[in-house]
A = this chain, B = another copy of it.
């Protein structure tokens, strides 16, 4: 310790955020609130290791997410190739699928789980994206069949969880991919290449705007021979783009009737009909939520191939600074076909927690409501050294009564305990004195006699 050491000045690592204690207190409260809502609906927690074997992560084929592989710093030469390569998981869906397959016989179905863990993406730091972040996921899966009501349940849970955070109005936008697929089928768009193109285009309309989307579509149509009536496809696409805001099933149904009048074959299309029925049923099941909470928006598609029915996105109506969907998901046909020979249909939703927290932290600190730097209700203190036993006992009494009590110790008399309580925003100072106890209320400045067995926060 006598040698002068080299100072390595630490700095933040791009994409790996960390928070100050007062920010962390809010983050922790948010996570607790989300967890409480998940549990209030009977979802059980699971946690999986942070890593999976690389073959598990890639079982579905190459993924477009960037993956971090682990290497031991001091790897023995002769260990090479002996063990499976491990990589950090990039989402919680693959680990959940692997977990379900691995522990299948120990689980009770329908299996309702929540998972709130960190995930990693090996993004290049210059992208400015988070490379480590927390996701809050729920899923319900069952063997062979999963009742549609779970699609409504999952939406209600997501709404309640976000609503609990007090970040203004939350709106779920729901659709059903069968509606789009049936609509395209009825308009004679049947080649998978064309379906993928249009789905992808729809997915990015919000980003690129309607007119550019139409331009891209018309260019694509002109170059292709697959479209029998080039004009009608473009018209159909335009028509579909307007189907974005239905507050309940009757509004949706009358829009559908209009659509059926405009496009022949539509009323006979089984896929379209099924999608509309499912979506109406979900809207009906969610009618106990506030009017703004849920709308049907048929332009929601969520990616290309995973979801097979209901799809969800979520907007914060009072936080326009948050671009995109804060919570998304959908219904899938089969969770774990890569790992087990069982059909496991499911429905789930994922809150991108860290990004939500960080966007609000930066753009709407008023909603974060940053408070104290300590969880303590009380700072306990004595100026008389021989009363330190009394301090310990008094603190213990108060803690048993559910109060959070920090002890302030000092090397000299009249130390900075007051400044400390103020800086950490601890609301009360408890003075242990030879002639009795006194409590100072930091907000009002009042100080009064108090008994640890009966004192209550005013």
Are A393 and B288 CB-contacts (below 8 A) given A44-B24, A45-B25, A83-B125?
yes
Q: Do A67 and B73 touch (CB < 8 A)? A: yes
Contact: B73 with A71, CB < 8 Å?
A: no
User: A234: which B residues are within 8 A, CB to CB?
Assistant: none
Instruction: Please state if B102 and A12 are interface contacts (CB–CB under 8 Å).
Output: yes
B contact residues around A18 at 8 Å (CB):
46-49, 99
Residues facing B in A301-350 (CB within 8 A) are 333-334, 337-341
**Does the CB pair B399–A102 fall under 8 Å?**
no
- Is A51's beta carbon under 8 Å from chain B? yes
A95-109 interface bits toward B, Cβ cutoff 8 Å, 1 = contact, 0 = none: 000110111001110
CA distance A379 to B403 in the complex (A): 34
Q: Is A242 an interface residue (CB 8 A)?
A: no
| Given contacts A50-B118, A69-B70, A41 and B106 within 8 Å (CB-CB) | no
Kindly report which residue of chain B lies nearest to residue A140, judged by CB atoms.
B409
Q: Which of A145-153, A248-256, A442-450 contacts B (4 or more CB under 8 A)?
A: A145-153
A404 within 8 A of B: yes
Task: Give the one of A20, A375, A411 with max B CB within 10 A.
Answer: A375
Residues of B near A67 (CB, < 8 A) are 72-74
Is A86 an interface residue, CB under 8 A from the partner?
A: yes
A51 near B13 (CB under 8 angstroms)?
Answer: yes
- Given the known inter-chain contacts A7-B340, A7-B341, A8-B56, please indicate yes or no for A113 contacting B70, CB distance below 8 A: no
A282 CB to closest chain B CB (Å) equals 11
Known: A68-B72, A108-B373. A42 touches B405 (CB 8 A): yes
| Copies held by the complex | 2
Q: Beyond A13-B53, A44-B374, is A8–B405 a contact (Cβ under 8 Å)?
A: no
Flag if A1 contacts B334 (CB, 8 Å).
yes
Cβ-based interface call for A177 (8 A): no
Asked whether A392 is an interface residue with its Cβ less than 8 Å from the other chain, the reply is yes
Specify which of A74, A392, A405, A424 lies most central, judged by the most chain B CB atoms within 10 Å of its CB: A392
Chain B residues with Cβ below 8 Å from A59 are 6, 8
Whether A339 pairs with B8 at a CB distance below 8 angstroms is: yes
Q: Is the CB of B21 within 8 A of A375?
A: no
Which of B1, B45, B148 is in CB contact (< 8 Å) with A24? B45
Q: What is the bound-complex CA distance between A49 and B150, given in angstroms?
A: 35
When the two chains form their complex, are residues B150 and A409 in contact, meaning their CB atoms are under 8 A apart?
A: yes
Q: A199 vs B145: C-alpha distance in the bound complex, in angstroms?
A: 64
Task: Please judge, given known A-B contacts A66-B72, A72-B122, whether A339 and B10 are in contact too, CB under 8 Å.
Answer: yes
Rounded to whole Å, the gap between the CB of A453 and the closest CB of chain B is: 16
Q: Which of B41, B84, B132 contacts A406 (CB 8 A)?
A: B41
Query: What are 12 residue pairs bridging A and B, where the CB atoms are less than 8 Å apart in the complex?
Result: A1-B334, A7-B339, A8-B338, A13-B49, A18-B47, A20-B106, A21-B107, A50-B118, A50-B120, A51-B132, A112-B406, A149-B409
